[in-house]
A and B are shown apart, each in its own frame.
Chain A
């Protein structure tokens, strides 16, 4: 029931926020903030009590919720939560809360509808992270899309309509392929196992021909790597991120991209183990290329938000690399990367937003020499720039190290290629600091340093990224029960342990 409430409260909050704007334009902010803080508290509470929860739940699943919906077609309203979904929910509500705060001064128009969309997109994301019915999954997948389209299209910057369309079409095209695959899997299961069902648990281990499995897997995979995004499907992302309002960028980079990663971990690999192993080297290569190509493009950008957007392409390449390495180190690294990337990139977008509020530009060429005026913001930016280049002691390092160490065991050459990305990350990350804060300023800026609201947003992010860098064990422990059994060999120093795909 608690799982259903997570979604229901968000949806109810969304409508309430919309309606409340009639009374007072500031009211939707407070409603959204309270709703998200409430959900964050609950989710964090569950995480805090994780050992307790695992004690009375023998499997990886902590909570489940099931209601028949359209039993004739085998569709049910089925939700379940394990460590992975729990972590994703905590991240969702954490970044969601910050998105409300970040919009406090930025969004002045149609506050009611804005917060309706914000809460609704978060509800969709929550649904995606919780649902265990493929039909319902597709439903939530689409629910995320439409409010996001409005967020970009209404409150975005100059070229917002183009960006919103592009985002919509890319995601929709990928989504349709996934729908085909879902239906294909549905009928294949009915044909081979004799029951029509969309239930994730029933569809696991569906017997099917090797060829069929590969085609169906590709349908899912394309949807997820468009969302992730991987090269060459990444071109919607820089436009969408750049044109979206700050909150939109934070939700896009921090959460929407993670639904792609989540989909790969939750659906692609468990549903199609054989096909996943078959395609693994190719997919890992795409990941490595994404790391390098995204980094190179990030270096070339002159627009702060666009630069950060391309770093996402680079960082999400690590997810693809690690997910298809099929071992526990890399799997843990991937989940870690999903969380830390959400935090560090979210923070960089917030900083971009704060700078835009002060300077009314995103052009790096028009910044420079801001350190004397904004020392506080400089220190904060330095921390997240360092996180983005993978400095040890910050969360992103743990993620990247685990991914690379894990994928090295599967594909040393591709991993070596990906490791070069660490150098490129250094190059583009340091460029941010140089262009924004160092050098001489063209004008004598008299700008206010971090406000209390900005401090309230950024300090939790700093605390989180340092905590994840120095003590990531709570995340690792939460993820552990959900790692597929065949992944459990972390290191094979006996040399001859080869992971065979389950037949």
Chain B
């Protein structure tokens, strides 16, 4: 398995070639290198996965070279392959490849074709580095690399300053989380003397008892990093704006890379979170709150991509909820199915957007069921999976596992369960509101360019995956297959349950399914739900977070910067210089050459000195 270094190396190499030789290799060459590097990485991942499963699930570590070595602090550029990184690597390369393939169609007319693929390759490479890293510093390299690529790609159409602002926002907001994560790394260096994941996790249980303040602080800081990258409360504000990038970028950010990094980080350091119950409970609460807030915001958007963006935030909320209640493998399961159906939905939306000549407002779409039947059916498949239509969608199996475990797990309770099913209800409403608005009703905008084959093939593949990927893990009530959780067991502990009840599990699934159908039915009856307009606006603007941050952080900083542009410290020195100069002026004014002033000066001086002498002699 020495060759697994090729998995991250190929996309990096692809990016390098595309930066240096884009002109020489021509457009076909760019497509070949851009898609090929990720495609071959996906193939290698498949082979590695085959060997991994065939070879007794043996974890594999590949040291490439020594990065830093100071005393007993050693960090290597070392890759680590186990079930968890394999699952992520597979999704990143496979879905990533499909997105690249789709992009060859979507971006075909863009003058910066090569730059686009270079950034996309770099993105995939960084994300692979993140999930294959054997230590937290290398993970941090991938982590920040992903941030950079999101910046480059969200601001890809750089001529519009709004895109640049969205790109900077994404980078800066996630960097706030990264700073918290950096401090967690300093704490880990201080207390465990290492950043190697296996060492940290082994030493953590020896160093800290459950609930120890240090490990709690570390877990909270790691959570800070995770909420930044995964766009959870309170750092979720960058993701809706990230829609400024080309649609395949959104698909890549939302489905295969970037936003799932936080899920990966928490799953990877699960031992630290288990040692810090307060932090782990916070993960669940963050997830629960986020999934509701984002669901409500998704419901009132008019831009199709923003609906999907809020939907992503909400679905990652489910994953955080799963992590928070200790359902580690359920979170990974939902990550996999979500990657398929969200990539499908985004690229389906992209096909619609291109077909309607870059129209993103859902209220100007409609009736596309007839003019774009292929897109309609795949989009419907994705929507069904997002809504978790029972039995026939992958989303059903993964989401219902989370819904059920939110209650039945030892850390769960009925409150989480309620939130989860209400979330499912909202999901059904906003998803089918989108489907009905876009594909049903009257045609409002005429179709210009029906999507070509390079765009449709990835959609068909993803539609198949969104339907059947759920069968790798089936609940007790239906077949009871545990392929994924068995595979992940050596890395992720299994869920401790507070009770087991097949009957209640049926009830949970039944209620969730019923609510989903109810949601669809309500929205079918009427697309306009009579909420107060003010509330809708509030939801549409993401619950006022942007405005609050703008008032609390951005404006004071900008004002302070403007006000002190010329650096008040310098006033001290210019003041000193000015004082010296005015002394000089005062003194040189006395040197006037007029004799009577000199005599006057002498007399005054003499009088002064004499008075002082007399004063000292006789008066005091």
- B69-A473 in contact (CB<8A): yes
B72 interfacial by beta-carbon distance below 8 Å: yes
Bound Cα distance A163, B495 (Å) = 67
Bound state CA distance, A386 and B126, in angstroms?
15
C-alpha gap A33/B143 in the complex (Å) = 41
Q: In the assembled complex, which residues on chain B have CB atoms less than 8 Å from the CB atom of A404?
A: 182, 186
Min CB–CB distance B229 → chain A (angstroms): 14
Q: Contacting chain B: which of A36-44, A349-357, A435-443?
A: A435-443
Set of chain B residues within 8 Å of A328, measured between Cβ atoms = 70-71
A493 touches B168 (CB 8 A): no
Please tell me which one of the listed residues A300, A392, A431, A471 contacts residue B564 in the complex, with CB atoms under 8 A apart.
A300
User: Which residues of the partner chain A approach B65 to less than 8 Å between Cβ atoms?
Assistant: 471
Within A404-451, the residues touching B (CB, 8 Å) are 404-405, 408-409, 412, 415-416, 419-420, 422-423, 426-427, 430-431, 434, 437-440
Task: Report Cα–Cα, A350/B295, bound state, in Å.
Answer: 49
Q: A296 contacts B561, CB within 8 Å?
A: yes
Total contacts A-B at CB 8 Å: 146
Give bound CA distance, A302 to B560, whole Å. Answer: 15
In the bound complex, do residue A423 and residue B172 qualify as a contact, i.e. CB atoms below 8 Å apart? yes
Give the residues in chain A near B561, CB-CB below 8 Å: 296-297, 299-300
Q: Does B176 contact A (CB under 8 A)?
A: yes
Residue A401 lies at the interface, judged by CB distance under 8 Å to chain B: yes
Looking at B171, B190, B570, which has the most chain A CB atoms within 10 Å of its CB?
A: B190
**Cβ of A426 and Cβ of B175 under 8 Å apart?**
yes
- Set of chain A residues within 8 Å of B161, measured between Cβ atoms: 434, 438-440
- B62 at interface by CB-CB < 8 Å: no
B182 (CB) vs chain A CBs: closest residue: A419
Contact A392 B141 (CB under 8 A): yes
Query: In the complex, what's the smallest C-beta–C-beta distance from A424 to chain B, in angstroms?
Result: 9
Q: Which residues of B contact A426 (CB under 8 A)?
A: 171-172, 175
**Chain B, 542-572, contact with A by CB distance < 8 Å: what is the 0/1 string?**
0000000000000001001110110101101
Check if B493 is an interface residue, CB within 8 A of chain A: no
Q: Bin chain B's interface residue count.
A: 35 or more
Question: In the complex, what residues of A have CB within 8 A of residue B246's CB?
Answer: none
Whose C-beta in chain B lies nearest to the C-beta of A295? B561
* B159 adjacent to chain A (CB < 8 Å): yes
B193 contacts the other chain (CB 8 A) = yes
Nearest CB of chain B from residue A236's CB, rounded to whole Å: 8
Dominant secondary structure of chain A at its interface with chain B: helix
Q: Which residues of chain A come closer than 8 Å to B172, judged between CB atoms?
A: 423, 426-427, 430
> Is A123 in contact with chain B by the CB < 8 A criterion?
no
Pick the residue among A300, A416, A470, A488 that contacts B562 (CB under 8 A). Answer: A300
Q: Which of A231, A419, A437, A438 contacts B183 (CB 8 A)?
A: A419
Q: Pick the residue among A332, A393, A405, A491 that contacts B145 (CB under 8 A).
A: A393
User: Chain B's interface: helix, strand, loop or mixed, by majority?
Assistant: helix
Contacts known (A476-B68, A491-B73, A492-B190); A392 close to B570, Cβ less than 8 A: no
Q: Please judge, given known A-B contacts A232-B569, A430-B172, whether A439 and B73 are in contact too, CB under 8 Å.
A: no
Residues on A with beta carbons closer than 8 Å to the beta carbon of B193: 490-491, 493
Contact between A493 and B67, CB atoms less than 8 A apart: no
Task: List, in ascending order, chain A residues with CB within 8 A of B560's CB.
Answer: 296
Q: How far, in Å, is A239 (CB) from chain B's closest CB?
A: 9
Closest CB in chain B relative to A92 CB, distance in Å: 25
Q: Which of A393, A488, A493 contacts B71 (CB 8 A)?
A: A488
The answer to whether the Cβ of B148 comes within 8 Å of any Cβ in the partner chain is yes
Contacts of B72 in A (CB 8 A): 490-491
Which residue of chain A has the shortest Cβ distance to B126 in the bound complex?
A393
Residues of A within 8 A of B (CB): 166, 231-232, 234-235, 238, 296-297, 299-302, 328-329, 332, 369, 371, 379, 386, 391-393, 397-398, 401-402, 404-405, 408-409, 412, 415-416, 419-420, 422-423, 426-427, 430-431, 434, 437-440, 470-473, 476, 480, 488-493, 495
Q: What are 13 of the A-B contact pairs (CB < 8 Å)? A: A166-B573, A235-B572, A300-B565, A386-B148, A391-B148, A392-B144, A402-B68, A408-B183, A422-B179, A422-B182, A423-B179, A434-B161, A473-B66
Residues of B near any A CB (own CB < 8 A): 19, 65-73, 77, 137, 140-141, 143-145, 148, 151, 155, 158-159, 161, 164, 168, 171-172, 175-176, 178-179, 182-183, 185-187, 189-193, 203, 207, 557, 560-562, 564-565, 567, 569-570, 572-573
Of all A-B residue pairs in the complex, the 6 with the closest CB atoms, nearest first, are A490-B71, A300-B561, A392-B141, A408-B186, A438-B158, A235-B570
Other than the given A392-B137, A492-B190, 17 more pairs (CB < 8 A) read A232-B569, A234-B569, A238-B567, A299-B561, A300-B565, A329-B70, A329-B73, A329-B189, A392-B140, A402-B68, A408-B186, A423-B176, A437-B158, A470-B77, A471-B66, A493-B193, A493-B203
